[in-house]
Structure 1
Amino acid sequence: LLDFVVQAAPNVLQPRTKKVKKGDEEVTLPAGEEKPFLAAVFKILTDPYVGRLAFFRVYAGKVAVGDTFHNPRVGRNERVGSLYKMMGKEQKGVDELVAGEFGAISKIEDIKIGDTLCSSEDVLVIEPPRFPEPMVSYAVIPKSRGDEEKISTALSRLAEEDPTFVAKWEHETGELVIRGNSTLHLDMMMKRLRRRFGVEIETRLPKIAYRETVTAKAEGHYKHKKQTGGRGQYGEVYLRVEPLERGKGYEFVDAVVGGAIPRQFIPSVEKGVQKAMEKGVMAGFPVQDVKVTVYDGTHHSVDSDDYSFRLAGERAFHDGMSKARPVLLEPIVDIEVVAPTKYMGDIISDLNSRRARITGTETLADQQVIRAKAPLSEVLTYSTQLRSITGGEGTYTITFSHYDIVPPNIAQQIVERTKAEKEQQK
């Protein structure tokens, strides 16, 4: 045990083997109080009396109240206003910290876990720790109306203190989503939210960001004509909608000849198409992987304007898409599971039940690595199931892969559920 202590926690005055960055080159981590100041931040905490505290370890040199230090991440010098040594929950103010000591600094806003603090005359960067990507997500709903801003501020503070906890507003689904390493991790963060900030929240599984696309070529048409006395509105658009290769996004082609639609109105038609693509014809999800070709139309020398052609482009796209065999797309993720070999059969069987496609397996000692592609909607609660199968011995990671077509029977259920939710919101 003592040998391990010597190896893991060497004397700060002894030469090190650890490397740090100096510009583009690697140098040995300096040791000793006589060296330029060098420290690394390992914890952030918001104290109700002192404010924001950054905890750090001094690797070399020393720092005193009134000194300045450099933060390479932001490229800025900061002045030390106060220093503390932590005594449990209490802070003891000190004038100086030297190599080997742990301490805290307050009232510096732009400082994060993993930041290097160093002398501006000798800028070194200690490689920040790598944290696991959060795998479990909940959508957050305030229990009391009017708490939205308070909850958002509190979650931001918790995210600053814990790099494995993320809180983000998802504009596409209109939800505030929190992410963590496990359901237990998120449960602890919610208790901390209630205890420290006095706010209550409810959670549910987050909505899936589905998309819509087309699988066939079709033509769309719309004529906008309105006369209300005086100058009217007029614009007519013919366009063609066809599928693009998955992941290509969107392509707009102007194939109008002979001035059927004047040049100055083509951008208005495209704006109308882009607006229509924000909400597809099946369930109102964004549209992607579509090519739109405008090939004909008519205009009026007096009544035609930007608005008329924008509206005609929007309605013509909806008309064309509804005829082009629209389908739903769902996000597919790459999932990698690592667990003891004895659980391999149960894990693969469970993944198959989640519409996953096994892409490979690998043996590492007594561990089995299983790689698969699966719909995100099927693995939102996978952490609980994997823990149940392996007794807590399995781990997994998820990364986004691509969008793919939802099977028709499942797509129908999604469309019906989405329409019902929109009706309830009215």
Structure 2
Amino acid sequence: MGKYSTEQIRTIALVGQSGSGKTTLAEALLARAGAIPTQGSVERGTTVCDYTPMEKSAQHSLKLAIASLETNGNRIHLLDTPGYPDFLGHSLPALAAVETAAIVINAQNGIEMMTGRFMNWAARRGLDRIVIVNKIDGENVDLAGLLEKIQTAFGKECLPLNLPAGGATRVSDCFFAPAGESDFSSVEEAHRQLVDQVVEVDEKLMEVYLEQGEVSPEQLHDPLERALREGHLIPVVFTSARTGAGIAELLDVIVKLLPNPTEGNPPVYFNDPADGSPASELTATPDPAKHVLAHVIKVEIDPYIGRVAVFRVHQGRITPGSQLYVGESRKPIKAGHLYLLRGKTQTEIQEAVAGDICAIAKIDDIQFDHILHDSPEDAHIHARPIELPTSVFGLAVQPRKRGDEQRLSDALHKLTAEDPCLRIEHVAQANETVLRGLGEMHLRTVLEKMSSQYKLELDTRPPSIPYRETIAAKAEGHSRHKKQTGGAGQFGEVFLKIEPLARGAGFEFVDSVKGGAIPNQFIPSVEKGVRGVLDSGFLAGYPLQDIRVIVYDGKSHPVDSKDVAFMSAGRKAFLDALGKARTIVLEPIVNVEILAPEERMGDIAGELSGHRGQIKGSDSPRPGTVQINALAPLSELEHFPARLKSITAGHGSYSFDFSHYEPAPPQLQQKLVSAHKPSAVEE
């Protein structure tokens, strides 16, 4: 592959609801550009992006795939993402690596649950957005009505760059050479609306337009890029990835109108100094002469190649053999070989510049979301956080075969490295290893991979609910630890106060000791003793949170005071305060998003309300379908997937996302407290 400047690079993430045809669209673009000899098929398992055996079997994407291609003197990095909410851990990182989010809509289904969510996520990251209406050749599609719904849902700035023509067998250009027939509306009117929208961001060009009545595409280019950056224009294009209608035109739009890295909104980084001073925002500049800044958006562990890290270069230039640093590590690594990706195919390149998305292999230190840089002084630079949902759907797992515990641990370590939304919890109280993901499909996929790739068979069961404890009132605690054994003794005395924090604030330890009543060297021991209580809880054995502990007084002995004495005194003083502070149990509340047939709304509402759920709102993304947003206690949702499947005859879908903790009902609190059997009686 040849060398390309930053201005010759385009990066596009294909996002949207599962079934909108993103993978087939990527395949059609690759074939049209000559990157592959023939267009593959999802049904036949021959696409570039869905290359794993599990994806071929499922016939939908399970992970982020990169497909780079070259056309008309430009390099395009396509990022094909899964559309199911269960796999957002693979979809959302793509938005951190591109200038443009292409929201793909199935013309037959219209606006769906994930359509609006991806539009919002892309807007919050400041990305240019384009809407691709795919499958325009489908039966009984109302493209005019769909365009109207898109504009109603997402604003009048959603304007067509082309319109379907010839019974959706082709498209007519509305921007470069606006002429010809269309299946609905008018090409000339669509062109006028586009120009009107673009010139609004450029007063001088607006004056020219008002005087002359027309401006050329060349004159519109810079204002159009600004309109895209500001969200003042969201182009809409029409395609059929199956028949090829609109694919050549989409390639033209990508090359001629979508931004290169110098034209999009620049990525935001943060410099978080080690000295504790406030973090400062900085902007990466797509300049090859500057220090390297590259962001790792994906890690894949191949059974033959090993760890492959995929990253987007935002600043500087990387070549094979470049010396790089990983995150805050002071130990340099060598980049070794650089690869462009096209599905599972790796093509070696000699340089990567700002805008490139490429990969390096066999460097175990690189993790998801790491920053690669070439200067030790940049060790504290971090990327803008990627918005990822909290994983709450859980399964307790254990190996079916005795002796496989270490193999299970190794496999889980690799799987969590690949999937930022897969979490492992070790619950000491219940002696459980819990897999947490974004839904039933997510965890089922993980278990299938465990079996097929790692040859591990697991037994699963519903996990214990991750309750928490906190306090509802302020209190004071005191403890004196004094021990004499004939030789050197132990002495430490601690006075402390505890008070509740806002929900979700965590834990704070404050040293307010005056006059050296507790020598400074023993304060960490007091804190260690206090923290030792947090995990084991006080009331029902669940971890404590949202508490501030203030140590304000104490006593010491010049000879007998030791770390162990103040650790014990701190622990017992904390327990003393907890006994006076109205300790309560908190239960996790989750956001529930349901998509189901409209006629089942009443049954679903009844199911939720019968399990302490609260419906927060509903919408109708398309005729005959209802989207329900609700809050419900996680403890009440163990059987919800099966109940939803029964109520909707398999036509309903759902997603869970952690919302907050709130006090459990008194009856449940009493049940949990009664069931708790402390492992040891406190002194």
Distance of aligned partners of 1:132 and 1:310 in 2 relative to their CA distance in 1, 3 Å threshold: closer
- Cα distance per residue 1:217-256 (max 9 Å; x no partner): 2222211110111210011222222222222223334444
| Residue 390 (1) aligns with residue 628 (2) | no
Distance across 1 between alignment mates of 2:301 and 2:245: 26
**1:328–1:411 CA contact under 8 A, matched in 2:** yes
Distance across 2 between alignment mates of 1:306 and 1:288: 25
Secondary structure of the 1:275 match is helix
Secondary structure of the 1:330 match is strand
Instruction: Work out which of the residue numbers 400, 413, 417 in structure 1 matches 2:671.
Output: 413
* Cα shift at 1:334: 1.7
**2:495–2:553 CA contact under 8 A, matched in 1:** yes
Secondary structure of the 1:364 match is coil
**2:338–2:350 CA contact under 8 A, matched in 1:** no
* Cα shift at 1:353: 1.8
Instruction: Work out which of the residue numbers 595, 600, 606 in structure 2 matches 1:338.
Output: 595
- Cα distance per residue 1:178-201 (max 9 Å; x no partner): 536535x65565455445543321
- Cα distance per residue 1:50-70 (max 9 Å; x no partner): 66799xxxxxxxxxxxx9899
Which is further off, 329-338 or 220-229?
Answer: 329-338
Which residue matches 1:175?
433
**1:210–1:328 CA contact under 8 A, matched in 2:** yes
Which residue matches 1:299?
556
| Residue 78 (1) aligns with residue 78 (2) | no
TM-score by length of 1: 0.69
Instruction: Work out which of the residue numbers 589, 605, 608 in structure 2 matches 1:348.
Output: 605
Which residue matches 2:630?
372
Q: Give unpaired runs (5+ residues) of structure 2.
A: 1-136, 138-168, 171-239, 266-296, 309-318, 327-333, 359-386
* Cα shift at 1:368: 2.3
* Cα shift at 1:411: 2.1
Secondary structure of the 1:25 match is coil
Distance across 1 between alignment mates of 2:389 and 2:596: 17
**1:279–1:285 CA contact under 8 A, matched in 2:** yes
* Cα shift at 1:124: 3.9
Distance of aligned partners of 1:213 and 1:180 in 2 relative to their CA distance in 1, 3 Å threshold: closer
| Residue 238 (1) aligns with residue 499 (2) | no
Distance across 1 between alignment mates of 2:427 and 2:262: 40
* Cα shift at 1:272: 1.8
Spell out the pairing of 1:216-235 with structure 2 (5 A cutoff). 216-235=473-492
| Residue 277 (1) aligns with residue 508 (2) | no
Distance across 1 between alignment mates of 2:639 and 2:600: 19
Which residue matches 2:470?
213
**1:210–1:329 CA contact under 8 A, matched in 2:** yes
| Residue 149 (1) aligns with residue 380 (2) | no
Which is further off, 137-146 or 364-373?
Answer: 364-373
Which residue matches 1:37?
none
Secondary structure of the 1:17 match is helix
Spell out the pairing of 1:43-54 with structure 2 (5 A cutoff). none
Spell out the pairing of 1:27-66 with structure 2 (5 A cutoff). none
**1:133–1:181 CA contact under 8 A, matched in 2:** no
| Residue 23 (1) aligns with residue 261 (2) | yes
Instruction: Work out which of the residue numbers 129, 138, 143 in structure 1 matches 2:395.
Output: 138
Q: How many residue pairs end up in the alignment?
A: 360
Distance of aligned partners of 1:230 and 1:247 in 2 relative to their CA distance in 1, 3 Å threshold: same
Distance across 1 between alignment mates of 2:644 and 2:518: 59
* Cα shift at 1:12: 11
1:394 maps to amino acid: G
Distance across 2 between alignment mates of 1:299 and 1:338: 63
Secondary structure of the 1:222 match is strand
Spell out the pairing of 1:47-126 with structure 2 (5 A cutoff). 76=335, 78=337, 104-105=344-345, 120=351, 124-125=355-356
Instruction: Work out which of the residue numbers 653, 662, 671 in structure 2 matches 1:404.
Output: 662
Distance of aligned partners of 1:119 and 1:383 in 2 relative to their CA distance in 1, 3 Å threshold: farther
Aligned alpha-carbon RMSD (Å): 4.4
Secondary structure of the 1:169 match is strand
Distance of aligned partners of 1:274 and 1:21 in 2 relative to their CA distance in 1, 3 Å threshold: farther
Distance across 2 between alignment mates of 1:268 and 1:8: 70
Which residue matches 2:182?
none
Instruction: Work out which of the residue numbers 445, 457, 461 in structure 2 matches 1:200.
Output: 457
Distance of aligned partners of 1:413 and 1:152 in 2 relative to their CA distance in 1, 3 Å threshold: same
**2:391–2:657 CA contact under 8 A, matched in 1:** no
Distance across 1 between alignment mates of 2:448 and 2:629: 34
Secondary structure of the 2:672 match is helix
User: More strand by proportion, 1 or 2?
Assistant: 1
**1:227–1:233 CA contact under 8 A, matched in 2:** yes
Secondary structure of the 1:242 match is strand
Distance across 1 between alignment mates of 2:626 and 2:637: 19
| Residue 7 (1) aligns with residue 244 (2) | yes
Which is further off, 7-16 or 375-384?
Answer: 7-16
- Cα distance per residue 1:74-109 (max 9 Å; x no partner): 9956367xx9xxxxxxxxxxxxx9xxxx77447x9x
Which residue matches 1:324?
581
Which is further off, 341-350 or 1-10?
Answer: 1-10
Distance of aligned partners of 1:7 and 1:404 in 2 relative to their CA distance in 1, 3 Å threshold: same
Which residue matches 1:312?
569
Q: Give unpaired runs (5+ residues) of structure 1.
A: 28-40, 55-66, 84-96, 109-116
Distance across 2 between alignment mates of 1:283 and 1:201: 29
2:424 maps to amino acid: W
Which is further off, 402-411 or 387-396?
Answer: 387-396
1:277 maps to amino acid: L
Distance across 1 between alignment mates of 2:417 and 2:521: 49
Secondary structure of the 1:283 match is coil
* Cα shift at 1:391: 1.9
* Cα shift at 1:141: 0.8
Which is further off, 313-322 or 232-241?
Answer: 232-241
1:408 maps to amino acid: P
Which residue matches 1:88?
none
Which is further off, 194-203 or 171-180?
Answer: 171-180
2:261 maps to amino acid: G
1:78 maps to amino acid: H
